[in-house]
Chain A
Amino acid sequence: MSRRHWGMAGAVAFLVVAVGACCSLPSYTPAFWNDGGQVQWNNNCYNYANNKRTDTFAQPGTAAGSPWTALTCPAVDVAAVADGIERLPASGACPKKECRIALVVWPGGDYHWYRLDTSGRWSHKPGGTQATDRDNSGNLITNPETADRGPYTDFCGYYCSCSSSTEGQGHENIQ
């Protein structure tokens, strides 16, 4: 094969990888997560918000080697950013068509994440329970800042995650 052909093959390979890693918005597809078994009980809110199945109950910062150290907004924020999750810019738009996700904290208790779906509504997966688009009061989640979040009283902010239109195949590196 000539050098020209090798160059073309390389370009094609690069395109395939690049397209494969393109961020896209997820649709609300709870059936993927709600199998009542392996997927449901081993993937948490962080997995769901990033649309990435790991079966490890993924923890912010673990993939980067610096897991969260306290159950406060700043501590979980730093851990998630270390994983490559980006804080939402002041413009209010994710720069690379990433999915918008939101972090909330139960002070001293736990943290939780929501994600924005193509439906324009928010959904979440409380721990090992089923994924849902409803809050603690049974209302559809149109705004995670005002949703009934039980003890998760601190709203930390919005972030951008490189999600996927294929359920469970988000591109962020989480563990």
Chain B
Amino acid sequence: MRTSSNLESHVTSLIQLVPAAALLVLMACAGLGSAAYAAEPGSGLQVTVLVYSGRPNPTFAIEDEAGVLDLHEALSAAEPYADFQRETVVPSILGYHGLRLETRSDAEGLPKVILIYDGAIELRNGEKRFLADPGRRLERKLIEQAIERDLLDETTLRAIRQELGGKPDNVP
């Protein structure tokens, strides 16, 4: 009886461990599929909206795995900008002049610095590479994220909208 009771107790304990084990397996699988984009403390990207000259520019962080993956997918799908003529995509002008993304660690598998403006993307990781951003899709998407975070006051938003040639998609 005692042996039978011990066996029963072990089986009950094992059954209780099944959900936890399943969760561990799922987490491991998720990690395997996107090991390069694991959201570790201090990882992710800092996005700076380049709009001011004197005062500090608005910034926000993309720290969640989905956000980093979205960006990685957008960059992976972007075509090279073969005949880009200028030294950098960010012009030295007053008013809105693009976005600067800086990766906080090397874990994301992304370039250290990414500059985006007016249909062009500049990747800086030792050397420069230029990609196309047709319809300023990625640029608009990141501006929308800044708006969702309530980072842009009305005066600033008006200037950005004017420069983007209309209201950014899905902007209220």
Contacts and interface: CB of A to CB of B under 8 A. Distances in A.
A36 B156 CA distance: 25
B101 interface: no
Given A45-B53, A112-B53, A126 B155 contact: no
Contacts of A41: 100
Interface size class of B (residues with CB under 8 A): 20 to 34
A122 to B, nearest CB: 13
A159 interface: no
Q: Which of A36, A71, A150 has the most CB of B within 10 A?
A: A150
Contacts, number: 80
A110 B50 contact: no
Interface residues of A, number: 33
Interface in B69-126: 88, 90-95, 97, 100, 124
A129 B155 contact: no
Contact of A113 (B48, B54, B57): B54
B93 A108 contact: no
Contacts of A149: 94
Interface string A100-118: 0000001111111100000
A109 B163 CA distance: 15
Contact of B95 (A57, A124, A128, A150): A150
Interface of B: 48, 50-57, 88, 90-95, 97, 100, 124, 153, 155-156, 159
Interface of A: 36, 41, 44-46, 57, 59-60, 71, 76, 106-113, 124-132, 134, 136, 149-152
Given A109-B155, A128-B48, A152-B53, 10 more contacts: A36-B88, A109-B159, A124-B53, A126-B92, A127-B52, A129-B91, A131-B92, A136-B93, A136-B95, A152-B95
